[in-house]
Amino acid sequence: MGNCKAGDIVVRKKYGGDVMFRIVDISQEEDGTELALLKGLFLRLMADAPLGDLCLVNQHEVNIQRIKTDVIHQDHVNAVLRRRGKRERSGWRSEPAEKKEKRLPFYDLPGRVLHVDGDQEYLELCVKTYQQMNMPVVGKLIPETQQPDVICDLISEHRPDILVLTGHDSLVGGTRAFSDLDSYRHSKYFVTAVENARKMCYSKDELVIFAGACQSHYESLIAAGANFASSPQRIFIHCYDPVFVAEKIAFTPIAQTVAINDAITSSITGIDGVGGVETRGKFRLGLPKSPY
């Protein structure tokens, strides 16, 4: 489709227009075919497709999908805030009746997040969501291919409790070789980045790691040392999935183990897109709260 250009929002005819993409770049193959590099608009998916297979999406359709995504996102944020309020009322800061008039001035210390993302737009959306949920976060835009090279320096500089390594990924060319790491666009870079991070922080409780994107090689990421990863069923994951899993870890008390099922189901995609292992929480209460 010759009128498509970088920056346009499109769908693929071959797949029935199931996913909206933004065209990142257009290249020409040796046989003259024009090939578009695509990034998912609302999913952490990267793909390529011939220009002839693409259809432009009008802005009205994009706006409808964006509104649906925003509603899902806000519903999850509201659920998080309700959960915290309920937990506080049911005992986190409960006191004997005789002390009600003289409440102790606690303060919260949730786990600190270092979120490394290969996509600028997604990084900004995720950082904004962390801030909505009162989570300390540092966001870094690092292309997936470069994440293994810089991750140790970033950990040394920011000393996070929770590390998120994400961006875009996919099975290349529709391959069905699910066990072959070379069948994935960026999984091998996420795997190496996790391995490098684990050389610095071996304990899964010292540094909690979420790694992966759409269709990523889940088994390799867990074997490399990730606590949570995508994608067990090689499905597409939502751009906010890593954020909501990280929140569950950040606000689970250090004396407790994060309930795996709760952490996974706190994501938008759920258990087909995210999995993990038992992990201790990163939340601490402080006392007293300084008046200054």
Question: Looking at the domain assignment, is residue 68 inside a domain?
Answer: no
Q: Mean pLDDT across the chain, nearest whole number?
A: 90
Q: What is the pLDDT at residue 1?
A: 43
Label the pairing between strands 275-276 and 228-229. Answer: antiparallel
**Does 155 share its domain with 214?**
yes
94 within a domain of the structure (yes/no): no
Q: Where are the beta strands (DSSP E) in 153-232?
A: 162-166, 208-211, 228-229
**Domain co-membership, 38 together with 165:** no
Between CA 202 and CA 34 the distance in angstroms is: 46
- Asked if residue 140 is part of any domain, the answer here is yes
Say if residue 225 is in the same domain as residue 180. Answer: yes
CB 248 within 8 A of CB 260: no
Structure tokens at 164: 């998120």
């909501």: which residue's tokens? 244
Percentage with pLDDT > 90 across the chain:
67
**3-class DSSP state for residue 258?**
strand
User: Based on the domain organization, do 45 and 124 belong to the same domain?
Assistant: no
280 with 180, same domain? yes
pLDDT for the residue 93 = 55
Count of residues for the chain? 292
Q: What is the pLDDT of residue 176?
A: 77
195: CATH = 3.40.50.2300
Q: Give the three-class secondary structure for 2.
A: coil
- Read off the pLDDT of each residue in 45-64 and give the average, rounded to a whole number: 91
Q: Examine the domain organization and report whether 24 and 79 are in the same domain.
A: no
Work out the number of other CB atoms within 10 angstroms of the CB of residue 254: 14
Domain membership flag for residue 247: yes
pTM of the complete model = 0.87
Residue 191 lies in a domain: yes
Boundaries of domain holding 47: 9-57
Residue 173 falls within a domain, yes or no? yes
Residue 256 confidence (pLDDT) above 80: yes
Q: Measured between alpha carbons, how far is residue 150 from residues 44, 147, 192 in Å?
A: 21, 6, 11
Residue 94 CA, distance from chain mean position: 33
Same domain (yes/no): 113, 223: yes
Tally of domains within the chain: 2
- Contact criterion met (CB below 8 Å) for 267 and 291: no
Q: Report the distance separating Cα 209 and Cα 202, nearest Å.
A: 11
Are 33 and 78 found together in one domain?
A: no
Same domain, 233 and 115: yes
Which pLDDT value is given to residue 92? 54
- 1: number of Cβ within 10 Å: 15
**Proportion of the chain above pLDDT 70, given as a percent:** 93
Q: Identify whether residues 268 and 148 lie together within a single domain.
A: yes
User: What are the φ and ψ backbone dihedral angles of 105, each rounded to 5 degrees?
Assistant: -85, 75
Name 164's Cβ contacts closer than 8 Å, sequence gap at least 6. 113, 114, 115, 116, 117, 126, 209, 210, 211, 242, 243, 246
**235 lies in some domain:** yes
For 84-140, write each residue's pLDDT tens digit.
877 665 555 555 545 544 567 888 999 999 999 999 999 999 999 999 999 999 999
Q: Is the Cβ–Cβ distance between 230 and 218 less than 8 Å? A: yes
- The answer to whether residue 123 is domain-embedded is yes
Angstrom distance (rounded) from CA 228 to CA 13: 33
Q: Give a three-class secondary structure readout of 177-199.
A: CCCCHHHECCHHHHHHHHHHHHH
- Between the CA of residue 205 and those of 1, 74, 201, 223, what are the distances in Å? 51, 29, 9, 16
Q: C-alpha angle with apex 197: 195 to 203, nearest 5 degrees? A: 95
Q: For residue 48, give the nearest of 97, 3, 91, 15 by alpha carbon.
A: 15
Mark whether 124 and 188 lie in a shared domain.
yes
> Both 117 and 35 in a single domain?
no
pLDDT in tens, 4-54: 888 999 999 988 888 999 999 998 888 878 889 998 988 888 888 899 899
